[in-house]
Amino acid sequence: MQYKPHDYQKYATGFILSNPIAAIFLSMGLGKSVITLTALFDLCLDSFLVRKVLVIGPLRVCQNTWPSEIKKWDHLEGLTYSVAVGSEKERIAALSRRASVYIINRENVEWLIEKSGIPFDFDMVVIDELSSFKSHQAKRFKSLLKVRPYIKRIVGLTGTPSSNGLMDLWAQFRVLDMGERLGRYITRYRHSYFTPDKRNGDVIFSYKPLPGAEDAIYEKISDITISMKSCDYLQLPECVINEVPVHMSEKEKAVYDSFREDMVASIKGKEIDAANAAVLSGKLLQMANGAIYDEDKKSIVIHDRKLDALEDLIEGMNGRPVLVAYWYQHDADRIKSRFSVREIKSTRDIEDWNAGRIPVAIIHPASAGHGLNLQDGGSALIWFGLTWSLELYQQTNARLHRQGQKDTVIIHHIITAGTIDEEVMKALRRKERTQNSLIDAVKANLKEAL
């Protein structure tokens, strides 16, 4: 695919190229991976300033996002990579292969540096989700700090930090600039910018920023940091659409394919049938989401792929509010059992959301009707389960993407690869009539199975 960067993407890439130490605070869905990879291509294959790059990130991001982004864009052809995840044997084999970019999950940073026996000879490091290094007591932080003096260039990628996360900035920038801007010691940082908040005698449980601390901290780090937290940098449509693919295991996909082919599948001893295309479509959508109702209206869990992706997306929001759209009740139940969420139902819920008192909210598209204003509470929407209804889809998106919204709206769709989810997205993009799209998509799925 041809890469046609927006102005802010060009600016961010240029910033990485111009600054050996760079912190990129960029909201999810705005292309931080391709921005960074464009810079890596230049550094490795054009200017030859870098020989070996280590990318550190969440496991699923390392397995899927970075490799797919490298393969996706035409201008990155020739940039070689190796993914060092899995068993120790697999990781060592991946690190032994010749490549420009090596990708490893953050849980294995300590192993790589302390236990692998492989020389740490990377001259550039990219930390995808820099906030995962916010704890100065974590082993990954301590390990990376040991080899930091040998790293010539380093990039930290994350979402824009909230004011509640100011204390966490110290460890992140200690890794980046070795303490040049926020100091080498956490105690000095606390004393300079914070005052004790909740405490019991001499025991301090939390700190709060001193007046003016936020501006002072940002001023300290401003020379190596760019923040894309407002539309000032963006020349984009007001709404950014993003798809997040997830993949079922072979066993899970076999259950899905079997049901699609035979219209009947035995799942955990329960038999579920589909009498027609409309019912089959609903069953397949449920299975893509990870669970399905049996004849007794009890849900049977098939996989947690979307829940895992939702966890990554929520973490990537870095504390900023997020609205999650679900379709089936078992989706809501599973989301509630895994995360601390609140469902938007009442006037009080709406008021609390718009006041910023709900970090993660869930909503059903049927309840997101006209006149429901949620734009003051956040600008990120995640579709956990999709709907064929173009009207409900557009109405739900319009709860955030409407007049009065101050930030660029980002709408994520979690899509289970190789399922009817992909057909729903195609139908929504084409804006076809709902019923015709449903029938056509089911036909396509059945045809592929034969």
Q: Which of 115, 117, 174 is nearest to 142 (CA)?
A: 174
Q: Which amino acid is at 46?
A: D
Measured CA to CA in angstroms, residue 42 lies from 26, 100, 123, 445 at distances of 21, 12, 15, 42
CATH 3.40.50.300 domain locations along the chain: 239-245+303-449
State whether CATH 3.40.50.10810 applies to domain 7-228. yes
Question: What pTM does this model have?
Answer: 0.64
Joined tokens for residue 117: 């026996």
The mean pLDDT value for 331-357 works out to 91
DSSP code per residue over 121-140: --SEEEEESGGGG--TTSHH
172-176-182-188 Cα dihedral, nearest 10 degrees: 70
pLDDT, one tens digit per residue, over 345-377 is 887 888 899 899 999 999 999 876 544 678 888
Where in the sequence of the chain do the CATH 3.40.50.10810 domains occur? 7-228
Decide the pairing of beta strands 264-267 and 270-273.
antiparallel
Q: How far apart are CA 335 and CA 193, in angstroms?
A: 37
* Token code pair at residue 193: 């910018």
CA distance 306 to 325: 13
Residues 6+ apart with CB under 8 A from 225: 22, 23, 24, 25, 218
pLDDT tens figures, 265-317 = 555 556 555 556 678 888 899 999 999 988 888 889 999 999 999 999 999 88
Rg (C-alpha) for the chain, rounded Å, is 23
**CATH architecture of the domain formed by 239-245+303-449:** 3-Layer(aba) Sandwich (3.40)
Report d(CA 256, CA 278) in Å as an integer: 16
